[in-house]
Amino acid sequence: MTKDGRGKAFEQRADAGEAELRLAMSRSRAAFVGTAVMSGLINILYLTGSFFMLEVYDRVIPSRSVPTLTGLLVLALALFVFQGALEMLRSRILARTAASLNEDLGGRVFDLIVKSPLKGSLPGDGLLPLRDLDAVRSFMSGSGPSAFFDLPWMPIYLFVCFLFHPLLGSMALAGVFVLAGLTVLTDRATRQPTLSATRSMQQRNALAEAGRRNAEVLSALGMQERFAHRWIRANDDHLQAQQSLSDATSGYATVSKTFRMVLQSGVLALGAWLVINNMATGGIIIASSILVSRALAPAELAIANWKGFVQARQSWGRLADLLNRIPPSNPLHALPAPRQSLVAEAVSVAPPGVPRLIVQDVSLALQAGQGLGIIGPSASGKSTLVRCLAGIWPTVRGKVRLDGAALGQWSATDLGSHLGFLPQEVELFAGTVSENIGRFDPASSAQAVIAAAQAAGVHDMILRLPDGYDTRLGESGTGLSAGQRQRVGLARALYGEPFLVILDEPNANLDAVGEHALTQAILGVRQRGGICIVVAHRPSALAAVDLVLMMNEGRAQAFGPRDEVLKRVLQPVPAAQSGQVSSRSVEVGGRASQGGLQ
């Protein structure tokens, strides 16, 4: 593709993401139209104070008419009450519009947070899309949008100033140009500090989250203090960036406020000079001062809220970019439940965000009732391959098919109901044991949960917990040992009797009883006509499979019946080299392993 072609493709993707955000915003079009109309009425009503003072000085005081004063006061009071009600209503409409935008985009933002790690699209702070949505919502529900709605009405005040006297109008117009220049300078001065503050916040939050996840390691290895110093440096960088941003914003806000007060006093002086020279009435002195102050108020308020505006604008841009890279899932045609085969057709896989292929040209075919064990040295691509077979990571080349249908033809929800997956590091969620096994499906039945637990051989263990299946777990399964979490995770993988069950080192934390239960679970999947794939480092996990795939350096070295493959890839360690190695030691891919598989 040519450079121009790449540029056009990027613009089309950018337009697509921007269009998705604008579509969500367009659902509140009626609210924005109503807010604009109310802003017009509010700005017209802002003239009440100026004309009230004008009438008092030019009509009431010379005539000394109390009834006139009373009538003007009652009228002004009614207009002020109406103005206050409109401002309150406008604020509430903007707040609810922001909440509506949050509601419309909330699901997509959660989708971005969950899918970004699988796409390699969101390094650093994984919750940044949520913070960006909060930044947009906070700005929309604040006073910033009100200032922007008021800005178009500034010409009205300038026109009235010119009606009072051309000199007053010229001074007010000069003030508007000065504040417009300050607004441009504020934008330029805050753009880069805002980006720096966001980046430093990402780094600080990422370090804090890493420390929280690895609290045990930091404490046991005495790393907490050193890690704290790293976080403190990141926090200092963030505070410095925030300070620079605050200095730029507050500096220009102070300059604009001071300028407005100076201009207001200048208008008073000019009005007095006009009165002295019989070129204006006395009421114009006060009325013009109030009017000019009100004319410049929206610009001053916009400058004061410019920090939030820049943050919201950058957040909007980041959300649009991420929405481009992770488009919404299109509805897919429902397919019948798989019952026959799993086929990998020369698949090559690279982890998200990594340009290098980890798995290259691996092909295999499994039929219902078969079990596959995947072995090989560390970093040979075993876990990468099973993530691809589970549809977690996409293929760079090749296809993975269930009953002839490529995984991309299944929706995530439909595919998930036919698939069980147990990763190396089992993560359970805050909730009950029953909810975790039932995959938090509100329609799950107690019988299905118990059946999955019994298939995993964990039913009796769960009954010994304080509240059985209703035992509440903390975040990441706090309250259970590593072995218990792995066994509950196995039950979750078996929930609903999925056709394809993939287990990545399922016996890493299991004792003899747990390994026996694992073997029975694998046999149970095969006996009911499912397919089970097991990544193994220990031979016991291969007891229930009939096929073995040997991986080495990302390629399939051998694939076939278990006993035949193991005879080819496992050789006893020569007696002269055995030394203190037991007679059960084997050598896999040329590397020794004490009683296990690499």
All domains in the chain, ordered by first residue: 8-325 (1.20.1560.10), 341-570 (3.40.50.300)
> Residue 434: which pLDDT band, with cuts at 50, 70 and 90?
very high
- Chain-centre distance for alpha carbon 455: 36
- Chain-centre distance for alpha carbon 137: 14
Mean pLDDT of 491-496: 93
> Residue 571: which pLDDT band, with cuts at 50, 70 and 90?
low
The reported pLDDT for the residue numbered 118 is: 75
Beta strands 547-552 and 371-375: pairing type?
parallel
- Cα four-point dihedral sign 312, 315, 319, 320: positive
- Which candidate, 202, 373, 163, places its Cα nearest to that of 281? 163
Q: Which pLDDT tens digit goes with each residue over 506-541?
A: 888 788 888 888 899 999 999 999 999 999 877 777
Contact 466, 496 (CB under 8 A): no
Average pLDDT of the chain?
83
The reported pLDDT for the residue numbered 121 is: 58
Mean pLDDT of 375-382: 89
Partners of residue 372 on adjacent β-strands: 533, 547
- Beta strands (DSSP E) in 438-589 are 472-473, 500-504, 531-535, 547-552, 555-561, 570-572, 586-588
The reported pLDDT for the residue numbered 340 is: 92
Least confident of 173-187, 212-226, 520-534: 212-226
- Give the count of alpha carbons within 13 A of 420, CB side only: 29
- Which candidate, 111, 20, 121, places its Cα nearest to that of 351? 121
- Chain-centre distance for alpha carbon 289: 48
- Which candidate, 438, 435, 482, 488, places its Cα nearest to that of 461? 488
Length of the chain: 598
Q: Which pLDDT tens digit goes with each residue over 290-344?
A: 888 888 888 778 877 887 888 888 888 888 888 888 878 777 788 888 999 999 9
Quickly list H helices, 214-282.
Answer: 215-220, 224-276
In the numeric block, the tokens 């690895």 are attached to 214
Which DSSP symbol is given to 56? I
Cα–Cα distances (Å) from 237 to 205, 226, 231, 244, in that order, read 12, 17, 10, 11
Residues 6+ apart with CB under 8 A from 290: 49, 50, 53
Compute φ and ψ for 405, nearest 5 degrees: -95, 130
Quickly list H helices, 465-537.
Answer: 482-494, 512-527
Q: Which pLDDT tens digit goes with each residue over 252-272?
A: 888 888 887 888 888 888 888
Angstrom distance (rounded) from CA 319 to CA 167: 48
Task: Quote the radius of gyration of the chain (alpha carbons, Å).
Answer: 35
